[in-house]
Chains A and B, each alone.
Chain A
Amino acid sequence: DTGVSQDPRHKITKRGQNVTFRCDPISEHNRLYWYRQTLGQGPEFLTYFQNEAQLEKSRLLSDRFSAERPKGSFSTLEIQRTEQGDSAMYLCASSLPQWVQVTDTQYFGPGTRLTVL
């Protein structure tokens, strides 16, 4: 396992279409996070999972966004009825639980760059 992977790396879509991104975390990591990063900003937290349970969702995650991690391994992030404001880099990260590692270092994937036309 070489790290966190994300697919696709780039996605161009038309406004109103649905898109789905996939994240495969490091295999022994049970925590998985989604972030969004727009130009000039740092990554902004969207949601996170511990195993298959979605424990927290940011208010940035409108009802058009849904994330799943059905078997506690890979995760998907779906955006319905995309808007131009959804254009951003979507980053996934994973980590070990805090009772395994003292600190909560997150390991990031390369991101999916979404462009909504």
Chain B
Amino acid sequence: ILNVEQSPQSLHVQEGDSTNFTCSFPSSNFYALHWYRWETAKSPEALFVMTLNGDEKKKGRISATLNTKEGYSYLYIKGSQPEDSATYLCASSRDDKIIFGKGTRLHILP
């Protein structure tokens, strides 16, 4: 694949439930994989950056994994809360460029 692909495009999750979504990226010339959270009317916020195959990062209830050989990363949210509602962007660095996916729009239902 030449582009960064994210799935699903949109997701509705009941408050308290856990969820995960996927980012697929080109595995050749890979440098780093970034996850950002973008809330409406705010700046995209950097969540994680991962570089090594098998990397796992965690920040509170949110964690991410990385597989550079097959070109995918998962973002997990445990026990979803209303404040988790946002667009989650994945971006891959390669050849001095950062290429973004279209994002996964997460809606937390009360």
Chain A interfacial positions (CB closer than 8 Å to B): 3-4, 33, 35, 40-45, 56, 91, 102-111
Contact = CB atoms under 8 A, between A and B. Distances in A.
B42 A40 contact: no
B12 to A, nearest CB: 17
Interface of A is mostly: loop
Interface string B71-83: 0000000000000
Interface in B1-41: 4, 6, 31-32, 34, 36, 41
Interface residues of B, number: 25
Contact of B89 (A40, A42, A102): A42
Contact of A105 (B34, B41, B96): B34
A107 B89 contact: no
Nearest to B38: A108
A104 B102 contact: no
A106 B89 contact: no
A31 to B, nearest CB: 11
A109 B43 contact: yes
Contacts of A109: 43
Contacts of B93: 103-104
B44 A91 contact: yes
A106 B102 contact: no
Contacts of A102: 51
Given A41-B102, A42-B4, A102-B51, A108 B32 contact: no
B100 A44 contact: yes
B98 A110 contact: no
Interface string B93-110: 100111111110000000
Contacts of B101: 42
B43 A4 contact: yes
Given A91-B44, A103-B51, A110-B43, 17 more contacts: A4-B43, A40-B102, A41-B102, A42-B91, A42-B101, A42-B102, A43-B89, A45-B98, A45-B99, A103-B49, A104-B31, A104-B32, A104-B98, A105-B34, A105-B46, A106-B98, A107-B43
